[in-house]
Amino acid sequence: MTPVSAKQYADDVSLLMVLIDTNPLVWSSTATYLSQFISFLNSILLLNQLNQVVVIATGLNSCDYIYDSSSLSQTNKRTETLLQKLEEFVCKDEKLNKNDSVDGIGSSLLSGSLSMALCYIQRVFRSGSLHPQPRILCLHGSQDGPGQYVAIMNSIFSAQRSMVPIDSCVIGSQNSAFLQQASYITGGVYLKPQYLDGLFQYLTTVFATDLHSRSFLQLPKPVGVDFRASCFCHKNTIDMGYICSVCLSIFCKHHEKCSTCGSAFGRLHTSVQTLNQKRKAPNNGSD
């Protein structure tokens, strides 16, 4: 694979991978969510005729490509095609067994859509020597799914290595620690709009500019980033824990064996008791 640093980019041409959260709980809280989103996509394509937009739907149980502006069959009727594909995806996702989802009904499959976006970008990298500058925009509203922590972090580090920024626009009721870390590590922008009625203005002002133009703008900076990890045993967010020295798995409590790689851990309580016995042992007079 060609090193990213050796690739040639057009300064103002963008490949925008948009990951749209289709969680019905998010849609019900934002009435004009979809119409403002479509207007934003149209504005990206109007800024430069060479810009490319790919939309990936992030469902509760699955992910799928629902729009690609490079496809001639989807160019003439952009809005109708996108709405039709989105409706078909939502119906298909609802029919899937929710018991098979990663984190149940509360969180969407963000790890899957990130992986699909990175795979698409890698195909573009290999298609020729000159590429539009790729970036990922996560339009997300679901709560974080601790069970996806490992997969999401792997995607974040893969994007960082490929120099692909991950932008995050969180429209849910609470911040996303996963997306805060994703934007911070990859050099993207994290934004949680205060007024969802003006979502289109937020999107066009912050996320419509290409990467070359960003160096001349004062974009929002995160006030703080939640770097806490999720344990592999109970999927809880923790401040302190135990780490396997072999596979770097994280646990909230001490275990005799790593559930990920099978490595045996030392007996913590036994070693502490032995150390205390040595300290309490009588001195025989020899120093």
DSSP 180-248: HHHHHHHT--EE--S-GGGHHHHIIIIISS-HHHHTTS-----S-----EE-TTT--EESS-EE-TTT-
pLDDT at 40: 94
Phi (first) and psi of residue 19, to 5 degrees: -105, 105
pTM (global) more than 0.75? yes
pLDDT at 270: 43
> In the chain, which residues have pLDDT < 50?
1-6, 99-105, 269-275, 287
pLDDT at 7: 52
Phi (first) and psi of residue 169, to 5 degrees: -120, 105
Domains of the chain: 4-214 (3.40.50.410), 229-280 (no CATH)
Cα–Cα distance measured from residue 134 to residue 140, given in angstroms and rounded to the nearest whole number: 19
> What is the Cα Rg of the chain in Å?
23
Cα–Cα distance measured from residue 198 to residue 42, given in angstroms and rounded to the nearest whole number: 17
pLDDT at 1: 42
Q: At what angle do helices 177-186 and 149-161 cross, to 10 degrees?
A: 20
pLDDT at 3: 46
